[in-house]
Amino acid sequence: MIEKKPLITHMYTADPSVHVFNGKLYIYPSHDLDLDIESNDNGDQYMMEDYHAFRMEDMTKSPVDCGEILNVKNVKWAKMQMWDCDCAEKDGKYYLYFPARDKDGMFRFGVAVADKPEGPFIPEDNYMKGSYSIDLCAFKEDDGSYYLTFGGIWGGQLDQYRNNVWSKDNKEPEGDVPAVCPKIVKLADNMKEFAEDPKDLVIVDKDGQPLKGRDHNRRFFEASWLFKKDGKYYFTYSTGDTHLLCWAVSDKLHGPYSYGGVILTPVLGWTTHHSIVQYKNQWYLFYHDCELSKGIDNKRNLKFCKLQFDADGGIVPVDGSIK
């Protein structure tokens, strides 16, 4: 079995987004380059410049590398740092959503289109109007509409926005001030534009109060992922500087989402990022750590394991340590 073992070993991969297309699993990770760059809180070490797609049918075998599907040199508006991406399918077309820094150093979202899940993807000339920050998740609602959840503080710039407006003077909230919220936005029918302004996706405690800025063990940092199970919406995310993956649940797409608990305990390396998918009647957690590079955080590798739910729908925590 290859559960909890490095899944791809010929290149460094991180931030997995995983979906079932045409009865097969497709993995869309970011691609860490083998560079010697000192790490910092702004994420300057993550100089990713392209994406590969990977196809996986047998959970006992390594996935097939379908090759490069998009490179920053082909994205007219982008300068650098193509971080976590995601993919959605509509009417036989595949839409790759990705963040990158524009010529002014601000993160924006691009969209690229393909006829097949393995690409190649052709990017639009301009970024999506009104987009900002990082770490997209593409979610299909039961009625066929599509949404993006997104956001990341610190290097992801989300903490510098208030009501979708950026200011360099905005900082991450502290103390009893409500924490920065991840965002959710509906996509237009053409899948290339926002249909509305992004809204807060609020995570609350057991008393129904928004999580506070000081609550670093539970507040949102980055790595949003949204899925639906048994009529419930699960929003899952990373706490960043406390190195946890957590989950929250709601009866409504737009929430509020009640904090549920930890999905994955800290892994080797600073960042933690994931996706959750059901394949052949089994739920799986895909994530990354730094086992291949022996802890060098800007050189990560993908892993996966089975994910279990308890009788009440809670996610059973997974041990992220290397044993």
Asked if residue 292 lies in contact with residue 29, where contact means CB atoms within 8 angstroms, the answer is no
Active site residue: 3, 15, 174, 205, which one? Answer: 15
Task: Look up 174 and say whether it is catalytic.
Answer: no
In this structure, the number of other CB atoms found within 10 A of the CB of residue 218 comes to 20
Spot the catalytic one: 32, 89, 222, 289: 222
User: DSSP state, 154?
Assistant: G
Q: 222 an active-site residue?
A: yes
* Structure tokens that stand for 266 in this block: 């800290």
The pair of structure tokens assigned to 230 is 């048994």
CA 283 → CA 2, 17, 23, 133, 163, distances in Å?
16, 14, 15, 29, 35
Of residues 16, 21, 75, 87, the one with CA closest to residue 50: 75
Per-position b or e across 54-81, b if 16+ CB within 10 A of its CB: bbbeebeeebebbeebbebeebeebeeb
The catalytic residues are 15, 222
